[in-house]
């Protein structure tokens, strides 16, 4: 289904050609809706290129523009912007098409890709903390949107389940473990023995050496150490799965770092054989002498003691994702501090001939009220599981105050949808590179750009239909009031609030594909907020159930379509819309 933007773009292109001018500039939603719905800077761009008056060029284009039944005659504003205002009957017709489309007007992409999305990636033997929110919910939202647009998506949780910390964990397991504490709270006990061992190793060289020997035994396949490692991984995975269940986040594969252990020697051998890697001071290193940004930042892929590191594992991961999973696109949703690391990995992959499109999708930090990284009072990372459970608890308190007659099951279900939705939306509504201050009060507010505000708009719509005691009317053809055909469910757009709401609904199909242009779910979040605002304005200005036919059926249809778009849009962000609050 074509959008208003694509239809106008085609007619603009035709008008430019008829005026003897090349295609130029952009067609975008108008920045000031008082002057129209869409605008183009084509005349400004061409004026600069040709040293001609942009306003004169704009008039030439307008003279050739075929308005047909789509828009009013275009106007020129400012230095030469061309503005387009859609006709109400064109909006009604398009809204009807959107209503009849199960995808709400969003077309599937014509160039599908197989995309591996690496997101989440917690470390074993540690609880997930608040810092994992951004990667997890951002990666999940991008996966949902990419899949909805028609791409084949593989969600990969690249878990940190191997490394030097396990020498300390195994030493602590053998020497400090409290079995009763392990049964009560496994991860807390594993964290305790790790910390205590780390403190001892800092003071005592013998403990430090004992930890190193435990790691060597693990890497050599010692049965006892492997069994301890497996138990630690299993306990961690149980905790992770609880968090993912709360978040409604799912993975297709969870290949931890240990999965690639057997592939690491081949990576180094391949790099040496191709000449990409070279031996330097006993280590195998890749230099980037022809890359100014990386010239003084070599990448070690095998240490002088024969050990491997994250770079080696990530290069093995590249090979697996491209050759085994057949990915032509790989997105790494990982914090900005890893930028140098991924620049090195992507450059090595390019030199090796991997043709996939590799992207590092970075994001900012979550801050406390002191504008520093969010920590507990004792200075520790805030556990994510506890934070999510607190969100549900706070949401339940709000629900009990506003709707105490709900059943216990309903209160629990709605509290979960509101609490988790609030945390997710507060993150996703920010530009991903922006640091933001975590605030319970703001994220759980029923006013402003929050998930509860959007969810409340959806609840209001469902309430309208409960009061009407009928399902949404089925739309027939669109018409204007006064036409003789009286088919039930036709869209009638006379009031400005009706027109604005219908127009906003038609733009859903323009917004969703834009999210992937720069990996910005906040574009969709902000659209949904504007849609909710438009609905509330419509609801206040246009009586629905008390209006006469045919306006009543038309307005019920608008309500139904708004509910469907809100629900689908929130779902693409990983947020559920409750039927009542």
- Per-residue pLDDT tens over the stretch 228-261: 999 999 999 999 999 999 999 999 999 999 999 9
Tokens 């920045």 belong to which residue? 31
Which two three-digit tokens encode residue 352?
A: 């090796």
- Tens digits of residue pLDDT in 334-393: 999 999 999 999 999 999 999 999 999 999 999 998 888 887 666 678 899 999 999 999
- Helix H segments across 176-222? 179-184, 186-203, 205-219
Mean pLDDT of 113-120: 98
- Would you say 177 and 189 are in contact if contact means Cβ atoms under 8 Å apart? yes
Q: Say whether 304 sits in a helix, a strand or coil.
A: coil
Q: Say whether 76 sits in a helix, a strand or coil.
A: strand
Q: Which residues of 57-92 are buried (b: 16+ CB within 10 A; e: fewer)?
A: bbbbbbebbebeebbeebebbeebbbbbbbbbebbb
Q: Of 330, 309, 162, 174, whose CA–CA distance to 253 is shortest?
A: 330
**Is residue 139 very low, low, confident or very high in pLDDT (cuts 50, 70, 90)?**
very high
CA-to-CA separations, 253 to 267, 290, 334, 386, 572, in angstroms, rounded: 22, 36, 17, 25, 21
CA-to-CA separations, 567 to 37, 209, 257, 314, 410, in angstroms, rounded: 25, 57, 37, 38, 19
Mean pLDDT of 16-25: 95
* Torsional sign, CA 98, 100, 101, 102: positive
Q: Which residues contact 288 (CB under 8 A, 6 or more apart)?
A: 294, 295, 297, 298, 299, 344, 347
Q: Of 82, 1, 9, 11, whose CA–CA distance to 41 is shortest?
A: 82
What does the mean pLDDT of the chain come to? 93
CATH class label, 4-86 = alpha beta
Q: Looking at domain 451-572, does it have CATH number 1.10.3720.10? A: no
Which two three-digit tokens encode residue 39?
A: 């605008």
pLDDT at 282: 94
pTM over 0.85: yes
**Is residue 470 very low, low, confident or very high in pLDDT (cuts 50, 70, 90)?**
low
Q: Where are the domains of the chain?
A: 4-86, 165-247, 451-572
- The helix (run of H) or strand (run of E) holding residue 332 is strand 329-333
pLDDT at 152: 98
Which two three-digit tokens encode residue 336?
A: 């900005």
pLDDT at 485: 39
pLDDT at 31: 84
- Tens digits of residue pLDDT in 411-451: 999 999 999 999 999 999 999 999 999 999 999 999 999 99
pLDDT at 381: 83
pLDDT at 484: 36
pLDDT at 477 over 60: no
* 4-86 and 451-572 have identical folds: no
Mean pLDDT of 493-517: 96
């Amino acid at each position: 289904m074509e959008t208003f933007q694509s239809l106008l773009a085609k007619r603009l292109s035709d008008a430019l050609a008829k005026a003897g001018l090349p295609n130029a500039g952009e067609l975008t939603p108008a920045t000031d809706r008082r002057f129209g719905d869409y605008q183009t800077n084509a005349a400004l761009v061409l004026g600069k290129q040709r040293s001609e008056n942009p306003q004169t060029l704009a008039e030439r284009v307008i003279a050739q523009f075929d308005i047909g039944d789509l828009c009013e005659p275009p106007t020129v504003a400012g230095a030469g912007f061309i503005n387009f205002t859609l006709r109400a009957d064109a909006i009604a017709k398009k809204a009807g098409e959107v209503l009849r489309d199960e995808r709400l007007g969003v077309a599937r992409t014509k160039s599908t890709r197989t995309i591996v999305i690496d997101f989440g990636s917690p470390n074993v033997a540690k609880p997930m903390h608040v810092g994992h929110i951004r990667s997890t919910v951002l990666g999940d939202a991008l996966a949902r949107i990419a899949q909805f647009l028609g791409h084949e998506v593989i969600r990969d949780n690249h878990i940190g389940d191997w490394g030097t910390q396990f020498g300390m964990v195994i030493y602590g397991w053998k020497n400090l473990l409290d079995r009763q504490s392990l049964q009560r709270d496994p991860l807390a006990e594993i964290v305790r023995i790790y910390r205590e061992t780390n403190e001892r190793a800092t003071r005592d060289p013998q403990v430090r050496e004992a930890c190193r020997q435990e790691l060597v035994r693990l890497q050599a396949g010692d049965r006892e150490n492997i069994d301890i490692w497996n138990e630690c991984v299993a306990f961690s995975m149980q905790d992770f799965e609880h968090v993912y269940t709360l978040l409604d986040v799912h993975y297709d594969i969870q290949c931890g770092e240990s999965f690639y252990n057997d592939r690491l020697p081949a990576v180094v051998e391949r790099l040496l054989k191709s000449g990409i890697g070279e031996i330097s001071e006993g280590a195998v290193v890749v230099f980037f002498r022809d890359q100014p940004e990386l010239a003084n930042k070599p990448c070690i892929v095998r240490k002088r003691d024969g050990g491997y590191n994250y770079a080696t594992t990530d290069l093995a991961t590249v090979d697996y994702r491209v050759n085994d999973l057949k990915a032509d696109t790989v997105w790494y949703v990982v914090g900005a501090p890893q930028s140098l690391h991924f620049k090195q990995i992507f450059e090595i992959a390019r030199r090796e001939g991997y043709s996939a499109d590799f992207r590092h999708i970075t994001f900012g930090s979550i801050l406390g009220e002191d504008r520093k990284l969010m920590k507990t009072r004792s200075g520790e990372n805030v556990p994510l599981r506890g934070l999510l459970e607190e969100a549900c608890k706070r949401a339940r308190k709000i629900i009990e105050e506003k709707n105490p007659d709900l059943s216990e099951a309903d209160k629990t279900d709605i509290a979960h949808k509101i609490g988790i939705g609030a945390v997710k939306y507060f993150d996703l509504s920010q530009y991903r590179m922006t640091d933001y201050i975590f605030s319970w009060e703001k994220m759980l507010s029923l006013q402003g750009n929050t998930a509860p505000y959007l969810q409340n708009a959806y609840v209001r719509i469902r309430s309208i239909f409960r009061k009407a005691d009928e399902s949404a009317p089925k739309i027939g053809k669109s018409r204007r009031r006064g036409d003789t055909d009286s088919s039930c469910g036709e869209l009638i757009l006379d009031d400005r609030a009706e027109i604005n709401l219908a127009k906003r609904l038609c733009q859903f199909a323009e917004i969703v594909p834009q999210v992937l242009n720069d990996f910005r779910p906040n574009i969709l979040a902000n659209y949904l907020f504007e849609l909710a605002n438009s609905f509330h304005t419509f609801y206040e200005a246009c009586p629905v159930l008390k209006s006469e036919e045919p306006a009543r059926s038309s307005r019920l249809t608008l309500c139904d379509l708004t509910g469907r778009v809100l629900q689908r849009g929130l779902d693409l962000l990983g947020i559920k819309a409750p039927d009542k609050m």
